[in-house]
Amino acid sequence: MFTISLHQIKVFAPIGLYPQEQILGNHFEVDIDVQVAEFSQKKFVDYTVLNSIVQQEMKKPEAILEQIALNMHGEIKKAFSFAKKIKISIRKRNPPMSGSMAYAQVVFEL
């Protein structure tokens, strides 16, 4: 089994549950891990396609990260139907709440 990864994709996007997040935007980081059983010159996971999917999905207006992770998973599966498992981690770098924290994160794996 091979795992192809693209980590810490940095994106600024107006995503969030609260109106201020949709106006001001926030910094996000996305990690993608795609597991495949085998590969060939014609059947491989292209990093540029993964990055493109992340960039496109983060531009779409959504309120919650869980929905974005599901959308990304669907697009990655369409592009690489031979993928055995896809793991997506989305981190919101500055969640709008009191207290000190590095980030809020959603992880989806299927």
Tens of pLDDT, residues 75-96: 999 999 999 999 999 999 988 8
Please report the beta strands in the chain, taking only residues with DSSP state E, as ranges in sequence order.
Answer: 2-13, 26-36, 85-92, 104-109
- Give residue 41's pLDDT: 84
Q: What is the mean pLDDT of the chain?
A: 95
Structural domains of the chain, ranges and CATH numbers in brackets: 2-109 (3.30.1130.10)
**Residue with token string 């935007």:** 25
Predicted TM-score (pTM) of the model is 0.93
Query: Which SS3 state, helix, strand or coil, does residue 108 take?
Result: strand
Query: Burial, 70: exposed, middle or buried (Cβ in 10 Å; 0-12, 13-18, 19+)?
Result: middle
38 Cβ neighbours under 8 A, 6+ residues apart: 2
